[in-house]
Amino acid sequence: MRRQYPFHLIEPKWRHFWDAQKTFRAWNPGEAIPEAHPFAVRHGLNGKVDAKGLPPKFYILDMFPYPSGAGLHVGHPEGYTATDILARYRRARGCNVLHPMGWDAFGLPAEQYAIRTGQHPRKTTEENIAVFKRQIQSLGFSYDWSREIDTTDPHYFKWTQWIFLKLYNSWFNPATGKAEPIDSLPTPGEGANSPEALREYRDSRRLAYVTEAPVWWCEELGTVLANEEVIDGKSEVGGFPVVRRPMRQWMLRITAYADRLLQGLEQIDWSESLKEMQRNWIGRSEGAEVVFPLAEGGQAITVFTTRPDTLFGATYMVLSPEHKLVETITTEAQRAAVSAYKTEVARKSDLERTELSREKTGVFTGAYAVNPVNNEKIPIWIADYVLATYGTGAIMAVPAHDARDFEFARKFDLPMRLVVEAPGGQESIGFLGDGTSVNSDFLSGLPTPEAKKKIASWLEEKGKGRKTVNYKLRDWLFSRQRYWGEPFPILWRREEGGPPRHEALDESKLPLQPPALSDFKPTSTGEPPLARASEWVNLPDGSVRETNTMPQWAGSCWYYLRFTDTRNDARFCGSEAEAYWMGTGPGGAGVRPGVDLYVGGIEHAVLHLLYARFWHNVLFDLGYVSTSEPFYKLVNQGLILGEDGQKMSKSRGNVVNPDDILREYGADAFRLYEMFMGPLEMVKPWNTKGVEGVYRFLGRVWRLFVDEESETEFEQAQTASGQNDVNALGRIRLGASVRSTSPTRVQLKALHSCIKKVTEDLEGFRFNTAISALMIFVNEAITWETKPVAILRDFLILLQPFAPHLAEELHAKLRDPNATDGTIAYEQWPKYDTALLIEETAEMPVQVNGKLRDKIVVAAKATQAEIKASALAAEKIQAFIQGKTIKKVIVVPGRLVNIVV
RNA sequence: GCCGGAGUGGCGAAAUGGCAGACGCACAGGACUUAAAAUCCUGGGUUCGUAACAGAACGUGCGGGUUCGAGUCCCGCCUCCGGCACCA
């Protein structure tokens, strides 16, 4: 196909220009802005400017990529293009825009590649970054590359480790609802606390703590994983099986923030579905703990229930097979059966336990408990449908009003008692909703919500239970047995005779670099590979380094903060920079708290987005940041499918490589197509034919401006010299129809309706319809005999965010055919004038009984009565209303007329 | 099962309760060309109807409802996508 316009020369030319001129450099408060920089020129700034002197900030962030060996994928640039368009738009609107990019480069693939090839992950990572960077830069994004971040850079992870130490040295004070320095933790008091006991107490309250607990172990990956990284009993990365295994691990106390993370969602502008995913993951449920004394032996079992109002219906209890009391309470007669069941359950993977065992299983322990409300003796069973990890690991079973208990009771022939009547008054075993309590002594007759309140206060009065809240959220398993991650800034020291104790590495020793290793392979015992570096591990003073590393999420938990002040060596980011870019107060010039706009994939809904919010809340509590929520507005871009409508994958062979598209159609066409495909959030299939469509549009834009003859000369020169000469672009002249004349009313109307539509659509993230408005303008403008420069210039400003290279080139030509400097990037976004949009006459559809029958032309200023008269008089309408009584005539000015007969 | 989101031409899609299908792809016809490509112009929801116009009926997953008027609002279903899933 013949090239529509010389994008192969135009695009690199302008990218070099932007790079050399630092066009997209974002300026921090207090930074010296060169007088000649277009940002300074636009805003009349010179030299050092403080936060108050700078224009309003706008922080537009992409989820930074993991630079994989496969290179960029057409899905990556979708979000990046959307943010770039908005960044360019905000610049034109006069904002100081922060639009950065970086690399989330610690991670498994680089390490696995290292294991296979023996090449150091550092090397692979650097190579992959180079590929990603070249590809991303070839799209003409207006990133401030001076702020580039690499999470594996010691200058960066020094601060990741530093934040970890802040977590380590803090506790969550339930009284204030905030994280506070560990030094402020009151001692438990009461008697003589040995230093040993005090230390243990402190360690048990830290936000980063060590615990020995069953954790997800992935044999194939040779590491443990967080709950969030396990999907259907398989690892999120690679889909390998995982098993529960007790191991000593580092945890972060995210559960302390469950309520804060829930409440924070109310303050931010995220899609309802995404908020819902986070709410579900946190899984708050209100209920009560109820204490059931054992019939013998004086001990008691505490259960959690969301339906304490059904307490009278509890006819048996179930403990999870792993429950602490199982051994104690099991009777001799049942011991064999109980141990057999426990063994059977232990053998099953979690996958089998949940998916395969639809049919309930369980065993009677032989023991009985006493129902605290009616002193009834009820049997205690164990069953694997009760999870050890939720609530107290034990339940009261109310088979009449719980589907699972019902199924279990039917199978094992346990009694059921109806205690809730459905609203219809129908007695119904198996009714699960809210109704009226029955057969429940002092609760009988009460509607469910009131019964819940009454039983809760009854339990509290009698000391038999209390209202409580439970969460599905578990603490965050934070250590990994890998090489390619941030080492923990932690030492282990053994006092004489005592157990080894962890302590923080001194901040002055940061960054703690990983040791040099040649064997990165994981071990099957769970011993991290760092343990092989004995010189690194064992310090001269006898202390030993922690050998676990942090998970990949660590680096992405705070990178957006680093972007505000990337080169700061004294602090994770300067407080003035943080306040300006992240704040809303006097220091912060923005309107919204935190990052103004964050765009990325939905796959991080309960991983990165929850973890980062957690860290940010902690940093906020400790006074390091200005807002409690990091990301004000968040948009998830939809997945791009292959041309066959299937998810792109190597095995399907339907992967589209951006490099191929760029070579053939250029970056502007690529950008435009990705935005024209449909709404940003939707899942949509790729269609290379569609790229040709927008490419043709760009060709039409080109022909709107340039002189055909000069272009032919230019091409002949190119062919003759056999080279791609950028300077030859100077040969291309503007067309003769492009003149500095005053625009006609028709021309103004075309321009201003385009300005209106594009502006409104950009505010609402409707890129596809904004582009269609640009197309409509060009389709009309190309027919004009005279094209006024003033109109074309404004059009280019509208086009610039979408197709920046072409817009720059044509804009330069409008100024001066041989211009080699100046940028359109900071040109003022045009304003539309509504007065220019109004036509003198308007065509109005006329309906009879809601059906379109005719159209009339009326003056724009016509009154309702005039419109009505003219509608009734219309010839075709006459035929429909003849001989009928007109019941009503509805006139919607500017819209339509409907005649009801 | 529960919670989100979505169903509109051959395809991607558009429509503050007010002319359904803007814009684009693909397709068809025409102009230009020795020819092709590129470009430019024209056409198009379906059915009926006409020599051709005209015209009519139907049409936004299905069934109801509200309204002068429903793709849009309400009720009840179906299908697809995403998330959660023995969470007491």
- Are the C-beta atoms of A617 and A573 separated by less than 8 Å? no
Give the per-residue pLDDT at A787: 94
Torsions phi, psi of A295, nearest 5?
Answer: -65, -30
Query: A689 with A103: CB under 8 angstroms?
Result: no
The region of weakest confidence among A131-135, A629-633, A636-640, A878-882 is A878-882
Residues recorded for chain A: 901
The reply to whether A776 has its C-beta less than 7 Å from any atom of strand B is yes
- CA-to-C1' distance for A361 and B85, Å? 19
Q: How many helices (H) and strands (E) does chain A have?
A: 29, 36
More confident residue, A360 or A650: A360
State in Å, rounded, how far the first CA of chain A is from the last one. 59
Question: Does the pLDDT at position A106 exceed 70?
Answer: yes
The integer distance in angstroms from the CA atom of A852 to the C1' atom of B58 is: 14
Could you tell me the distance in Å between the CA of residue A284 and the C1' of nucleotide B82? 22
Asked whether strand B has any atom less than 7 Å from the CB of A385, the reply is yes
Distance CA A65 to C1' B25 in A: 31
Which residues from the 862-881 window of protein chain A have CB within 7 angstroms of nucleic acid chain B? 876
Give the residue-averaged pLDDT of A340-361: 74
CA of A710, C1' of B11: distance in angstroms: 38
At A889 the pLDDT is 87
pLDDT at A721 over 80: no
| The pLDDT value given to residue A819 | 66
Per-residue pLDDT tens digits for A843-900: 888 888 888 888 888 887 888 888 888 888 887 888 787 777 888 888 888 788 888 8
> Can you tell me whether residue A432 is helix, strand or coil?
coil
CB A365, CB A332: distance < 8 Å: no
Asked if A30 contacts A835 with a C-beta cutoff of 8 angstroms, the reply is no
Assign A741 to helix, strand or coil: coil
Strand B lies under 7 A from the Cβ of residue A433:
no
Structure tokens at A300: 């008691």
A311 is written with which tokens? 């307490």
Cβ burial, residue A843 (10 Å; 0-12/13-18/19+): exposed
Among candidates A564, A580, A764, which has minimal Cα distance to A55? A580
Nucleotide nearest to A895 (CA to C1'): B18
Which residues have C-beta within 8 Å of that of residue A295, sequence separation ≥ 6?
A367, A368, A369, A370, A377
CA-CA distance, A210 to A814, in Å (whole number)?
66
**Who among residues 402-431 of A has its Cβ near strand B, under 7 Å?**
402, 404
Q: What is the mean pLDDT of residues A804-811?
A: 96
Confidence check: pLDDT of A588 > 50? no
Tell me what the mean pLDDT of segment A788-799 comes to: 96
Among the ranges given (A27-41, A316-330, A335-349, A454-468), the one the predictor scored with the smallest mean pLDDT: A335-349
* Global ipTM: 0.94
Q: How confident is the model at residue A355 (pLDDT cuts 50, 70, 90)?
A: low
Strand partners, A504: A490
Region A342-352 average pLDDT: 76
Q: Which nucleotide is nearest to A764 (CA to C1')?
A: B16
Does pLDDT of A449 surpass 60? yes
Residues of A from 150 to 189 whose C-beta is within 7 A of strand B: which are they? none
The stretches of A169-226 forming alpha helices (DSSP H) are: 195-203
pLDDT at residue number A358:
67
Q: What's the pLDDT score for residue A356?
A: 47
Please name the residue that has the structure tokens 């409300």: A373
Burial of A169 (0-12, 13-18, 19+ CB in 10 A): middle
* Dist. CA A483–CA A527, nearest whole Å: 11
pLDDT at residue number A138: 95
Cα–Cα dist A455/A461, whole Å? 10
Q: Which nt has its C1' nearest the CA of A876? A: B55
CA A592 vs CA A68, A81, A772: distances in Å: 33, 22, 30
Query: What integer best gives the mean pLDDT of chain A?
Result: 89
Nearest to A779 by CA among A847, A704, A879, A676: A704
At A190, the pLDDT band (50, 70, 90 cuts) reads low
* CB A852 within 7 Å, strand B: yes
Note the pLDDT of residue A590. 47
How far apart, in whole angstroms, are the C-alpha atoms of residue A523 and residue A482? 10
Q: Find the mean pLDDT for residues A824-842.
A: 89
Strand B atom within 7 Å of A901 CB: no
pLDDT of residue A494 exceeding 60, the answer is: yes
Phi-psi group of A430: left, alpha or beta (phi > 0 → left; psi -120 to 50 → alpha; rest → beta): left
Contact in structure between A836 and A748 (CB atoms under 8 Å): yes
A277, closest nucleotide (Cα–C1'): B83
Percentage, residues of chain A above pLDDT 90: 61
Owner of token pair 């079992």: A301
CA A750, C1' B43: Å apart? 25
CB A795 within 8 A of CB A779: no
Q: Where are the alpha helices (DSSP H) in A722-831?
A: 745-763, 767-781, 789-799, 804-815
Alpha-carbon distance of A775 to A13, in angstroms, equals 25
pLDDT digits (tens, 9 = 90+) for A724-779: 788 888 888 898 899 999 999 999 999 999 999 999 999 999 999 999 999 999 99
Distance CA A304, CA A397 (A): 11
Q: Is the pLDDT of residue A780 over 90?
A: yes
pLDDT above 90: residue A584: no
Comparing CA positions, the residue from A311, A293, A291, A294 lying closest to residue A303 is A291
- Tell which strand B nucleotides have any atom below 7 Å from a protein Cβ: 3-5, 11-16, 18-20, 22-26, 37-41, 55-57, 68-70, 81-88
CB A842 within 8 A of CB A894: yes
CA of A793 to C1' of B13 (A): 29
CA A39, CA A215: separation in Å to the nearest integer?
Answer: 53
In a 3-state reduction of DSSP, which class is residue A378?
A: strand
User: Is the model's pLDDT at A714 over the cut of 90?
Assistant: no
Contact criterion met (CB below 8 Å) for A22 and A37: yes
Q: Give the model confidence (pLDDT) of A124-183 as tens digits.
A: 999 999 999 999 999 999 999 999 999 999 999 999 999 999 999 999 999 999 999 999
- Alpha-carbon span A731 to A718, nearest angstrom: 11
Beta strand spans in A538-679 (E): 544-545, 597-600, 634-636, 640-641
Residue nearest to nucleotide B24 (CA to C1'): A693
| A304 Cβ nearer than 7 Å to chain B strand | yes
Cβ-contact A700, A735 below 8 angstroms:
no
Which of A831, A830, A828 has the alpha carbon at shortest distance from A94?
A828
User: Residue A586's pLDDT is what?
Assistant: 42
For the segment A385-395, the average pLDDT, to the nearest whole number, is 91
Task: Please give the Cα distance from A707 to A736 (Å, whole number).
Answer: 7
d(CA A888, CA A876) in angstroms, rounded, equals: 18
Percent of chain A's residues with pLDDT above 70: 96
- The answer to whether A751 touches A795, Cβ cutoff 8 Å, is yes
CA distance A28 to A576: 9
Q: Which nucleotide is nearest to A310 (CA to C1')?
A: B88
Residue A179, classed as helix, strand or coil, is: strand
Helix (H, G, I), strand (E, B) or coil at A896: strand
DSSP type of residue A563 = G
Is A508 exposed, middle or buried, given 0-12, 13-18 or 19+ CB atoms closer than 10 A? exposed
Q: Which nucleotide is nearest to A694 (CA to C1')?
A: B24
Residue whose C-alpha is closest to residue A273's, from A636, A617, A592: A636
Q: Is the pLDDT of residue A677 over 90?
A: yes
Please give the Cα distance from A86 to A650 (Å, whole number): 32
Nucleotide nearest the Cα atom of A288 (by C1'): B88
- Distance, Å, A214 CA → B12 C1': 49
A351 touches strand B (CB under 7 A): no
- Residue A698: half-sphere exposure toward Cβ, Cα within 13 Å: 32
Residue A568 confidence (pLDDT) above 90: yes
Amino acid A853: pLDDT:
84
> Would you put residue A806 in left (φ > 0), alpha (ψ -120 to 50) or beta?
alpha
A463-476 pLDDT tens trace? 999 999 999 999 99
C-beta within 7 A of nucleic chain B, residues 618-677 of A: 676-677
Nucleotide closest to residue A843 (CA–C1'):
B19
Does residue A352 reach within 7 angstroms of strand B, measured from its CB? no
Distance A506 CA to B14 C1' (A): 61
Non-local CB neighbours of A778 within 8 Å, separated by 6+ positions:
A697, A700, A701, A704, A795
Q: Assess whether the previous peptide bond of A511 is cis (omega < 30° from 0).
A: yes
Residue A676: alpha-carbon gap to chain centroid: 23
Span CA (A424) to C1' (B83), Å:
34
CB of A775 nearer than 7 A to strand B: yes
